[in-house]
Amino acid sequence: MHLQQLVGNVYCLPGASNVGLVMGEARQAFLIDTGVGQRSGRQILRILEEQGLALAAILNTHGHGDHVGGNAYLVANTGARIYAPVHDSVVLQNPLWGTMCMFSGADPLDELRAPRFAAEPCRADFVVAEEPLQVAGVSVEPVPLPGHTASHTGYIVNDVFFTGDILAGEEELEKTVISYAYSVGRRLESLDKLKGYECARYVLGHGTVHDDIHELIERNVAQVQNVLECIKAYLTKGDAETSRIFEVVCSHCGLQVRNVREYYLLYPTLHAFLSHLSNSGQITPAVKDNRLVWSAKGNGGACAPTRACG
């Protein structure tokens, strides 16, 4: 990890998951997310100590383990206060809820009890809403951007927008192809909301820092629409179970699921696509012969295989 200055007192610690660092009054500082695991927490603390900074607070964009992994270590060693969005604050304090949601609400597989999915539990001191914050003497504008999680939130500090995981970067679009989503409809709304902001710099949850994100927003929207159209087109051929739709979407996007963890990142996201299409009246679920099947409303075209969903 290294400090990358963005604008004035706002810095980024680039990594597998990007961390924001803001220098405030009286040599205090606060973070935006803390990366993956205790190792990330140790690296961040070392940088803070090298800079002579006292950690006042951590602002989390959401509760996924790859963004809150350093929380518990940093709180234990600095006493920093945690700010988190309402639903995500529950997962911070009870990480089991996150892995349960991935595993249909049941006791999750051991493979899902990894730091990326379930960080060490930590308290949440403040629930973030839409009201402006003052942290270490610095003004912070929380921006609700639900979709990746139910209460996912971005933060604007000194004209730098930390967007969290609502916006996938170029590398993620190429490698992941289908970005994780709690709600496809709300993610599309949040992507549209992002178009209304003009900031000097944009720090994504993963990937490089950007000066402009308009083209990237369009690529993210296209990725979502591509999968929606694939599902609708396939269902015009007849009813299908969720597992079959999963196979079709993976084939369409050129994906080969390699392990249980990858499967359970994609499978809940597929359900987000299905619920979006169902709740908007485009497809219908029904139980037939003890099987849940989906069917299309209206007509559509063929779902031709392609590598690039984005």
Fold of 4-220: Metallo-beta-lactamase; Chain A (3.60.15)
Cα angle 31, 176, 230 (rounded to 5 degrees) comes to: 130
The residue-averaged pLDDT of 274-303 equals 86
E strand residue ranges, the chain: 4-7, 10-13, 19-23, 28-32, 54-59, 81-85, 126-128, 133-135, 138-144, 153-157, 160-164, 201-204, 209-210, 240-241, 283-288, 291-296
The residue-averaged pLDDT of 55-67 equals 96
Per-domain residue ranges for the chain? 4-220, 226-296
Which residues are 128's β-sheet partners?
Answer: 85
- The answer to whether residue 126 scores a pLDDT higher than 60 is yes
Q: What is the pLDDT of residue 304?
A: 44
**Location of structure tokens 């950007």:** 210
Confidence of residue 298 (pLDDT cuts 50, 70, 90): low
Confidence of residue 308 (pLDDT cuts 50, 70, 90): very low
Q: Which residue has the higher pLDDT, 110 or 232?
A: 232
Q: What is the pLDDT of residue 166?
A: 97
Is domain 226-296 in CATH 1.10.3720.10, yes or no?
Answer: no
Give 184-199 pLDDT, tens digit per residue. 999 999 999 999 999 9
Give 207-261 pLDDT, tens digit per residue. 999 999 999 999 999 999 999 999 999 999 999 999 999 999 999 999 999 999 8
Q: What is the pLDDT of residue 307?
A: 42
Percent of the chain with pLDDT over 70: 95
- The answer to whether residue 51 scores a pLDDT higher than 70 is yes
Q: What is the pLDDT of residue 208?
A: 95
Q: What is the pLDDT of residue 109?
A: 86
Asked whether the domain spanning 226-296 has the same topology as the one spanning 4-220, the reply is no
Give 77-91 pLDDT, tens digit per residue. 999 999 999 999 999
Q: 100 with 106: CB under 8 angstroms?
A: yes
The residue-averaged pLDDT of 168-196 equals 94
